[in-house]
């Protein structure tokens, strides 16, 4: 392989692994939007919260990783359930913007309370996976990116099984498709709303662990949530497969921009390239690649 191709391969590989980790976070957003029509502007803060929790757990002497992960998962599931019950359920039937405002408010609260409770220093989340880069041909990846990508793939597989095969998953799709009809089938819609938020909690917990491990944990970890928007706009707000593909595309675009454009302009294109793409998609295909075009006879 020539050096140029090798470079491209390395950029692509890096983009794919980062992209999968974006997909994982975007999945939390999509699950909630799909099932409940709520746009969650606090997805990044969910990830931050999970990162703070896992970092705190791991800071205790002799804390096994498994326990820290399980506690983080449990807290985030509880957080998701609680949030739905306390904040979102009272807003059922209100205009969409009310829910958006509530999640923006929630984001601010979490960003403010995080340092108050957990301290403001940047903490490390050290996973027992070493630092030796994993070499794949001309490219090499930090182990955390490989681990993150594997976790993301595992979760996409698990969720696609859940939604295709499990009774609850199918019922959840029914709720997502048409709430009124789902109710007429005897499906308790509110319970599935709560479940969607809890699932967003699970995804955020894993996102917090892998992203926290990669970037370190402090308030700025929430910024990773901003990448959710280009990912879901690209893939479609309500498409789980779209979150996966959107994440991959954004990861790759970022990586290519960093590799090919940044050297010429002195850096920074990596950070805005995804948003340029997002704006283009909004102009051409506002419902995303896999999103549902909403046509309704009223």
Residues binding another protein (CB under 8 A): 166-168, 170-171, 173-174, 177-178, 180-189, 191, 195, 297
Whether 40 and 103 have beta carbons less than 8 Å apart is answered as: yes
126 versus 166: smaller Cβ distance to another protein: 166
55 versus 237: smaller Cβ distance to another protein: 237
4 versus 294: smaller Cβ distance to another protein: 294
Q: What kind and span of H or E run contains 284? A: helix 269-284
Whole-Å CA distances, 269 to 22, 50, 253? 18, 29, 10
Tokens coding 49:
């919260």
230 versus 236: smaller Cβ distance to another protein: 236
Tokens coding 79:
């957080």
**Would you put residue 118 in left (φ > 0), alpha (ψ -120 to 50) or beta?**
alpha
Of the candidates 102, 107, 118, which has an alpha carbon nearest to the alpha carbon of residue 47? 107
CB of 191 to another protein, least distance (A): 7
CB of 292 to another protein, least distance (A): 9
Of the candidates 8, 78, 86, which has an alpha carbon nearest to the alpha carbon of residue 46? 78
Phi, psi of 171 (to 5 degrees): -65, -35
CB of 197 to another protein, least distance (A): 13
264 versus 297: smaller Cβ distance to another protein: 297
140 Cβ neighbours under 8 A, 6+ residues apart: 10, 133, 134
CB of 51 to another protein, least distance (A): 27
CB of 181 to another protein, least distance (A): 4
Return the exposure string of 144-176: e unless at least 16 CB atoms fall within 10 Å of the residue's CB, then b: bbbbbbebbeebbeebeebbeeeeebebbbbbb
Residue 1, Cβ neighbours under 10 Å: how many?
10
CB of 93 to another protein, least distance (A): 12
CB of 83 to another protein, least distance (A): 17
């Amino acid at each position: 392989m020539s050096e140029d191709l090798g470079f491209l391969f390395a950029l692509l590989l890096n983009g794919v692994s980062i992209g999968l980790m974006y997909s994982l976070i975007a999945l939390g957003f999509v699950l909630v939007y799909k099932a409940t029509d709520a746009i969650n502007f606090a997805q990044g803060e969910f990830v931050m919260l999970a990162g703070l929790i896992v970092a705190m757990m791991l800071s205790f002497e002799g804390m096994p990783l498994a326990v820290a992960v399980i506690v983080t998962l449990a807290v985030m599931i509880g957080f998701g359930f609680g949030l739905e019950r306390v904040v979102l359920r009272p807003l059922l039937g209100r205009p969409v913007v009310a829910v958006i405002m509530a999640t923006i408010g929630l984001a601010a609260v979490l960003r403010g309370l995080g340092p108050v409770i957990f301290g403001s220093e940047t903490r490390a989340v050290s996973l027992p996976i070493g630092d030796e880069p994993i070499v794949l041909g001309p490219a090499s990846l930090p182990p955390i990116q490989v681990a993150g990508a594997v976790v993301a793939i595992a979760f996409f597989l698990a969720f696609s099984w859940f939604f295709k095969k499990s009774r609850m998953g199918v019922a959840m799709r029914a709720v997502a498709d048409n709430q009124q009809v789902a109710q007429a089938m005897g499906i308790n819609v509110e319970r599935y709303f709560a479940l969607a938020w809890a699932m967003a909690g699970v995804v955020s917990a894993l996102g917090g662990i892998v992203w926290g491990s990669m970037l370190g944990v402090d308030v700025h970890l929430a910024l990773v949530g901003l990448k959710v928007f280009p990912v879901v706009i690209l893939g479609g707000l309500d498409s789980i497969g779209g979150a996966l593909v959107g994440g991959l595309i954004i990861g790759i675009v970022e990586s290519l921009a960093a590799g090919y454009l940044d050297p010429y302009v002195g850096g920074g294109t990596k950070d805005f390239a995804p948003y340029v793409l997002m704006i283009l998609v909004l102009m051409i295909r506002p419902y995303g690649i896999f999103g549902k075009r909403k046509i309704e006879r009223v």
